[in-house]
Amino acid sequence: MTVEGVFRKNGNIRVLQEMVDSINDNPSGHQISEESSSIQLAALFKKFLRSLPDPLLTQKLYRLFIFSQSEYRNHAFIPVTELK
């Protein structure tokens, strides 16, 4: 939380691949070393999110999410059925 722009920077590709291989080889017993930088950990997390079969924010809920973040959300009531 103290590193600015941690998700904007790319980690070292070789180190990232080593981390992924290590986790894949031993998923239940793998531990992240304390030497891993926050940028490397963020890169690992981004790689994990990209590899998910389905996105976290589904197409079905996309419009509802956008509306919930809009400046009009407190001024208008739009039933969920209209946002689909």
Confidence of residue 14 (pLDDT cuts 50, 70, 90): very high
pLDDT of residue 29: 74
Is the pLDDT score of 1 beyond 70?
no
Q: Can you give the pTM of this predicted structure?
A: 0.60
Mean pLDDT of 2-29: 83
pLDDT of residue 68: 80
Chain centroid to CA 53: 13
Q: Which residue has the tokens 């070393």?
A: 33
Q: What angle do CA 63, 65, 70 make, to 5 degrees?
A: 90
Q: Give residue-wise pLDDT tens across range 20-77.
A: 888 888 877 767 776 678 888 889 899 998 898 888 778 888 888 888 877 665 555 5
Who's near 78: CB < 8 A, 6+ residues apart? 67
Q: What angle do CA 51, 53, 57 make, to 5 degrees?
A: 95
Q: Pick from 56, 38, 37: which is nearest to 48 by CA? A: 56
**DSSP tag of 57:** S
